[in-house]
């Protein structure tokens, strides 16, 4: 899939926001792909983490917003401990989630969970899931 590069569509605000929330300098990414190779969710995300970093460098808001990657990321930190550039990619994913959540756009809804599921699930699943995917 080609990446469309355009200075007109490059969103500097987004880059700034992600840097501010995550505290990470994703411009340092040199596209080695270690993160993608380490991601346990690789089969279930539609944009690999390496590409997320490239899209961020380009400020491609549209492609980033269409990606399910931050929402399938389980914050397992494998990419983070292996990144040769020392970028905390887990924090970058958190920033991408928070940009949406802070506009009150939730990813999951409590009322859509089955009552049996709620009764069965450990609290840490619910607390962490709602921390990561609701505003």
Among 10, 11, 21, 100, binds other proteins (CB under 8 A): 21
The SS3 of residue 123 is helix
From 5-13, 49-57, 59-67, 87-95, give the range in contact with other proteins by CB under 8 A. Answer: 87-95
Among 14, 22, 26, 60, binds other proteins (CB under 8 A): 22
* Least distance from other proteins to the Cβ atom of residue 113, Å: 7
* Least distance from other proteins to the Cβ atom of residue 58, Å: 23
* Least distance from other proteins to the Cβ atom of residue 67, Å: 13
Query: How big is the CA angle at 131 (ends 84 and 36), to the nearest 5 degrees?
Result: 25
Among 1, 13, 116, 131, binds other proteins (CB under 8 A): 131
Long-range contacts: 64-73, Cβ < 8 Å, 24+?
Answer: 64/14, 64/96, 68/44, 69/45, 69/93, 69/96, 70/94, 70/96, 70/97, 71/97, 71/107, 71/133, 72/41, 72/44, 72/45, 73/41, 73/45
Site residues for other proteins per CB under 8 A: 20-23, 40-41, 43-44, 71-72, 74-78, 80-82, 88, 90-91, 94-95, 98, 107-108, 113, 120-133
């Amino acid at each position: 899939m080609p990446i469309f590069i355009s200075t007109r569509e490059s969103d500097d605000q987004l880059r700034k926001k992600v840097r501010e929330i995550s505290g990470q300098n994703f411009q340092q990414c040199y596209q080695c792909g270690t993160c993608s190779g380490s991601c346990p969710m690789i089969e279930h995300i539609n944009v690999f983490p390496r590409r997320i970093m490239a899209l961020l460098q380009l400020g491609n808001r549209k492609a980033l917003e269409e990606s399910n990657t931050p929402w399938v990321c389980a914050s397992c930190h494998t990419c983070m401990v292996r990144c040769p550039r020392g970028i905390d990619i887990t924090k970058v994913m958190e920033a991408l989630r928070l940009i949406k959540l802070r506009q009150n756009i939730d990813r999951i809804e409590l009322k859509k969970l089955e009552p049996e599921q709620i009764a069965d699930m450990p609290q840490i699943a619910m607390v962490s899931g709602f921390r990561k995917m609701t505003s």
